[in-house]
Homo-oligomer: A and B are copies of this chain.
Amino acid sequence: MAKAIKNIDQKSIWDDARQMLAKAEKDGVETAWDRLEQQSPHCQFGESGVCCRICTMGPCRVSKKAPRGVCGADADVIVARNFGRFVAGGSAGHSDHGRDCIEALYDVAHGKTKDYTIKDEDKLRRIAAELGIAEQGRETLEVAKDLAEEFYANYGSRRDEVSFLCRVPQKRKDIWHNLGMTPRGVDREIAEMMHRTHMGCDNDAVNTMVHSARTCLADAWAGSMIATEISDILFGTPSPRMSQANLGVIKEDQVNILVHGHNPIVSEKIVEAVNDPELIALAKQKGASGINVAGLCCTGNELMMRQGIPMAGNHLMTELAIVTGAVELIVVDYQCIMPSLVTVGNCYHTKMVTTADKAKFTGAEHVKFEMTNGMAQARKVVQMAIARFALRDKKRVQIPKGPVPMMTGFSNEALLAALGGTLTPLIEAIKAGKVRGAVAIVGCNNPKYQQDYCNVNLARELIKRDILVLVTGCVTTAAGKANLLMPESISQAGPGLQEICGSLGIPPVLHMGSCVDNARIIQLAAMLANELGVDISDLPLAGSSPEWYSEKAAAIGTYCVASGIYTHLGHPPNITGSELVTNLALKGLDELVGACFLIEPDPFKAAEHIDQRIKAKRLGLGLPA
């Protein structure tokens, strides 16, 4: 894995990024790549996970010379504890987002807000029925009230298992039960993870790793899944539509607002406000031809999936989007928002607005969004952006050209609709080897890699091999910019995939949403397993996060593996200081949960390994390789 890349062309595979990196250099703007250079080389203790700051007898750093911390913890225990807290952070991110969605559903159900409504009543009723809530003949909001109660209970201490375990194949549930890995409640598993990793509590690395997996499973099958399902209920279940991506979506003659973060509760209102004729008139009065909103990161994915709002860029494009000099305002909710955006914004005229009390940024303006004031606050934010337009320095504006068109909106509902209402055509295609398997490529950018090189090349390699690719999160933009998200992209795929996707009119790489929407993918995996009467681990599937950076990505990887899906990461989490934990991740987990991690920075080699795994799984099912 390359670190501290200095050459602009080697920093990103994209022309829009390269242009802005050159402009940033010229404008004296510091970027993540510059700071990575300052931070290199990284501390080897930290990188290998053997540094412990869990009590003040330390901090300790174990090594051959000093193999135990002051308390007596060895590398295995220290690495496992650090990993446990790392994925607890990731699970907490997704799940606290899910909690915000529950509160939104609750407020809508109880008539506490007029700013939000139920957009997909069918989905509300379908999920209620799935979870055993009576819905026939009842008022929509009454059903919504009960569903909110059911979801709240998933965050408590009273359940033996979270609700959506009803979606999981029995074989998988048995594995979890036998290992003590069944997720009981979202917050409970997170809090217990923190308790276990206190000094002098859990001091058996395998035991700690099992609870790490349990915590991530609570994220998968409760926190994230609840976030996704409620977002669909409140904002509509995505269906295929066209959009576009790259910095070219920023418009020179308009007021540009970027939305960044994860939860659609804020950004959906911004989109509404942007379309308000009064505000458009105000923008025109100020000399703009209109108001343009574009997405970044997962908030971008949420808006793109449901509204077709264009995507300015993924993780490493967030600073560079501001460098265009044409962004009036960036409004954020939470997660993955580089604190440097305030500083970069200050180099131009870009105002940063925060909206969540749990995610304030020093130097940004805080406009608190609540369920009762969402629309009013959104209008206020848009007005702030319009006021900012006059401050734009036109001489410093440079916007890369040519946004790339892409198809988005592949919720499971949309996928099923494309398949004619059942999974049968997909299963038949898999059996026939036309679709040899499916791989979800998800996650982030990380300046340690040439931006999107691995994300894009892995996708390309897999579709060539007739492996369907599903993307979420920041890989979406990568795949979109690489022209992989259009129906015409089947020309880059193998003959089987060409035939199947061609006949359905869908791309060989399907955009399934934001990072919490990886819940859609594991649900799809469970549906396939249930349909075939096998476990998820028997299916020719894999997950991959080639350029990941975040704790959430590590949580996703862990819940994928714990759910039985072989998962590739471009680089390991900070665990290599423990042979035991590393071996568990790369091999031992295969015996415990039927799947393990693959660490491989080279996307071509990774594709080969994944292909081998898919072959083995196909053979295991009695199918041609």
Residue from B69, B152, B192, B340 in contact with A358 in the complex, judged by beta carbons closer than 8 Å: B192
Q: In the complex, which residues of chain B have a beta carbon less than 8 angstroms from the beta carbon of A95?
A: 191, 195
The stretch among A109-117, A199-207, A458-466 that forms the contact with chain B is A199-207
Which of A36, A155, A158, A187 has most B Cβ within 10 Å? A187
Contacts A46-B53, A71-B338, A157-B99 known; A204 to B360 CB distance under 8 Å?
A: yes
Task: Check A211 for interface membership: any CB of B closer than 8 A.
Answer: yes
Q: How far is the CB of A42 from chain B (nearest CB, A)?
A: 5
Q: How far is the CB of A130 from chain B (nearest CB, A)?
A: 22
- Considering only residues 72-95 of chain A, those with a C-beta below 8 Å from chain B are 72-74, 76-77, 82, 85-86, 88-93, 95
CA distance A101 to B541 in the complex (A): 43
Q: In the complex, which residues of chain B have a beta carbon less than 8 angstroms from the beta carbon of A42?
A: 58-60
Task: Check A131 for interface membership: any CB of B closer than 8 A.
Answer: no
Task: Check A308 for interface membership: any CB of B closer than 8 A.
Answer: no
Q: How far is the CB of A168 from chain B (nearest CB, A)?
A: 22
The stretch among A136-144, A380-388, A545-553, A613-621 that forms the contact with chain B is A545-553
Task: Check A54 for interface membership: any CB of B closer than 8 A.
Answer: yes
CA distance A58 to B85 in the complex (A): 16
CA distance A47 to B51 in the complex (A): 11
Q: In the complex, which residues of chain B have a beta carbon less than 8 angstroms from the beta carbon of A54?
A: 86, 89, 551
Give A37-64 as 1s and 0s: 1 = Cβ < 8 Å from B's Cβ atoms. Answer: 0110011011100010111111111000
Q: In the complex, which residues of chain B have a beta carbon less than 8 angstroms from the beta carbon of A76?
A: 362
CA distance A172 to B51 in the complex (A): 39
CA distance A45 to B58 in the complex (A): 12
CA distance A200 to B97 in the complex (A): 14
Q: Is the CB of B152 within 8 A of A335?
A: no
Q: Is the CB of A36 within 8 A of B70?
A: yes
CA distance A46 to B43 in the complex (A): 11
CA distance A203 to B198 in the complex (A): 25
Task: Check A431 for interface membership: any CB of B closer than 8 A.
Answer: no
Q: In the complex, which residues of chain B have a beta carbon less than 8 angstroms from the beta carbon of A335?
A: 195, 198-201
Q: Is the CB of A39 within 8 A of B60?
A: yes
Give A178-205 as 1s and 0s: 1 = Cβ < 8 Å from B's Cβ atoms. Answer: 0010000111101111111111111111
CA distance A482 to B39 in the complex (A): 50
CA distance A86 to B59 in the complex (A): 12
Q: Is the CB of B43 within 8 A of A198?
A: no
Q: Is the CB of A35 within 8 A of B92?
A: no
Task: Check A235 for interface membership: any CB of B closer than 8 A.
Answer: no
Instruction: List the 5 closest pairs (A to B, CB-CB), nearest first.
Output: A72-B340, A46-B59, A187-B187, A92-B194, A38-B66
